[in-house]
Amino acid sequence: MAILKALPKCDSGVALLEFRNGTDSAIKIFRALASLEKVSAGSQVSLLDAAIELSPHTSIGIDVTAGLAALFPEHGPQPQEAIVVISLVAEPEPPDQPQPGRYRVAFQRRITQFSAA
């Protein structure tokens, strides 16, 4: 079981990524990078403005709406849906740090879905 988890939520157009630290020591998340699954790796967007420190056995929710919306080229009325891959860089690196997560994001003028894929 992963000891650092990133769980998606969507509420009224706001996409939140909840980070959970399941370890007995603090973890610092330096980067959370998002990219569309079917696009080259060079098209990544940072979801964090600054590093986040998680105390042992705590969680924090981060608003990632702007970063996810930036992955969609058009913000028109047509619904868009994509699989987004989010990778984390944390220190100390947990021994079973999760692989990059796959999330389903739907966008129609705002984010309408953000869930595990």
| Residue among 78, 69, 24, 32 nearest 51 (CA) | 32
Residue range of the domain that includes 25: 4-116
For the domain that residue 61 is a member of, what is the CATH number?
A: 2.60.40
Its pTM stands at 0.88
1 falls in which pLDDT band (50, 70, 90)? very low
| Structural domain count, the chain | 1
Summarised one tens digit per residue, pLDDT across range 68-102 is 999 887 766 788 899 999 999 888 776 666 688 99
| Residue among 11, 16, 2, 51 nearest 31 (CA) | 51
